[in-house]
Amino acid sequence: MRLKKTIKTLTLTVIAAVSATPANAQDLLARQAPIDRRMKAVDTLILHSLIEREMDYSPGSALYTEWSNKYAHRASNIPDSFLIDLRGFAMPTTSRVITSQYGRRWGRMHKGLDIKVYIGDTIRSAFDGRVRIVNYEGGGYGKYVVIRHDNGLETIYGHMSKHLVAENQVVRAGDPIGLGGNTGRSTGSHLHFETRLCGIDINPALLFDFRHQDVTGDYYMYRRSTHARESEYANTTTGRKQNGYTAAEVNGGRSTAQRSAESKTVRNIAKNQGARFHKVAKGENLYTIARKRGVTVDELCKLNRIGKDMRIRPGQILRYS
């Protein structure tokens, strides 16, 4: 009799424990749910913070809307002016000999510099960045590499004999990316070197002084309206004719004093940790951008030299600090 009573008691205890388990589990899940929501919110804030920090660190990231491994360059909306940070550079090659300048050549536009290198010479990344293209083009670049850099530039290295990097690989300034060669449309071993902003070619001589193995300054202010004249002037420093331009015309109609004042402005920007830019999205206007970036409309207008009633277009680049 006592044994039956003991068994009954144990059975009831087990049943009670088993029936209570789902309720306890549900209670635990219910208590965990708010924690999960809070952690998700924290993760979202951290992600946004990382994105903002990346934008601050890489001012050029706002210039591009896509990342593609399929094309060497494609022209997109380019700002009227853009400050390019040239600090932390590395010369792509130790060669000081330029065999062909940027500009008109044989009835067509030569959009880079040809620098004398020998087959097997080390070619290096000019700045920190990420490799976008590693490819071969028999009728053009030969074996070439395209790198998108943190400062907004993209650089192209053509006619190499060997690739030393892979697409999407992160590289630092000075990292080997290939070996000199004579592949593609080439009549002798050399490096074809291009610098582009939003897919638009910029004369590399405005940024790099291969003769002295240095950059032309800590910063270069690209101006769409004066690039052609400044490019001609840059070519004269390596022996090309100035084509009748006066010094003032070459400098965009700006006097030496004006250029000096602009250089001072650029240095001041550098002291303030660099200019920051916003790429206009569809539906945005000056007022929504000002709120988003924490500035006033007047500040936006002053920085970009525009009026409050000026219409802005998607893809346009506006400076906000």
pLDDT tens readout for residues 287-313: 888 888 888 888 888 887 787 877 787
178 and 91 in a single domain? The answer is yes
Domain that holds residue 142: 81-244
**Looking at the 3D structure of the chain, how many domains does it have?**
3
Stretch 226-242: mean pLDDT? 71
d(CA 85, CA 102): 21
Residue-level pLDDT at 254 = 44
Would you state the structure tokens that stand for residue 197, as one six-digit string? 């902003």
Q: 68-82 pLDDT, tens per residue? A: 898 888 888 888 888
Residue 291 lies in a domain: yes
Of 290, 291, 285, 294, which is closest to residue 316 (Cα–Cα)? 285
In a domain, 74, yes or no: no
What's the CATH code of the domain at 155?
2.70.70.10
Do 109 and 228 fall within a single domain?
yes
Q: Residue 308: its pLDDT value, please? A: 80
CB 204 within 8 A of CB 113: yes
**pTM score:** 0.61
Indicate which CATH number applies to the domain containing 280: 3.10.350.10
Note whether residue 123 is domain-resident. yes
Whether residue 87 sits in one domain with residue 53: no
> Given pLDDT bands bounded at 50, 70 and 90, which one contains residue 124?
very high
Do the beta carbons of residue 289 and residue 300 sit within 8 Å? Answer: yes
**Does the residue 212 lie in any domain?**
yes
Tokens of 306: 């525009």
Q: How high does pLDDT run on average in the chain?
A: 77
Q: Are residues 13 and 118 in the same domain?
A: no
Q: Which of 20, 41, 57 is the last residue of a domain?
A: 57
Is the same domain home to 236 and 105?
yes
Least confident interval from 108-122, 149-163, 173-187, 272-286: 272-286
